[in-house]
Structure 1
Amino acid sequence: MKSFIVSALAAVSILIGGAVSAQVIDLTPANPQPTGVKRGLKVNYFTGERNVRNLSQAKSKIKWSKPGKPLPGLNFPDKGQGAPVLTSGKATLVVADINGYIKFDKPGVYDLELL
């Protein structure tokens, strides 16, 4: 698990693909701060491609992705083999492109775990 240094409301774009990647990302406050933000993160899915083995390949598939049901947050624990990935409705071969804002109540160091 890595630490993300953030303050206020930070713009976040996360790509989850066929490989696990851990990195420290230095986030800065969104400028200007957004107003009228609705709950949920925008997600687009690309599914059914067996040859996605790393983030580079996953990124190349996003142009063919389709919108999914917005994510209510980032708490999606592993429910085991056969369980759907996020809100995709599919259990395997899913690339998710997640965009939105995450509100942090105060500046600090936060741990975000993505598997």
Structure 2
Amino acid sequence: MSRAADPPRAEAWNGPVGNHWARHQARYDAMPAGVNGALFDAAAVAPGDRVLDVGCGAGATTRIAARPAAPGHAVGVDISAPLLERARASTAAEGVGNAAYECGDAQVHPFPPA
């Protein structure tokens, strides 16, 4: 990650806080079904959509969004390298081929146009 709007926060998420969340991924990925259900009902992700998941953590919502978006694509962005490592591993293990991850602070990340 090249820039951070809040360097102390980036340091925490790439240190003890991010490592804790990465070690306990299963607990944090187990969001109540009603929360994700409401989110994805509202988002209405459809085939061919492009989805951006800001603050994706270990990528649970990115993976959920990628499935109905196929053949579109979902990109998760997070400030935490330890969490993105877990996101990439889980995505590969689940065989989700249309999801990718970027390490960056979404407040200042140089997203490409569109």
Q: Which has the higher contact order (CA 8 A, sep 6+)?
A: 1
State the TM-score, normalizing by the size of structure 1.
0.24
Rg (Cα) greater in structure: 1
Report the structure, 1 or 2, having the larger helix content: 2
Report the structure, 1 or 2, having the larger strand content: 1
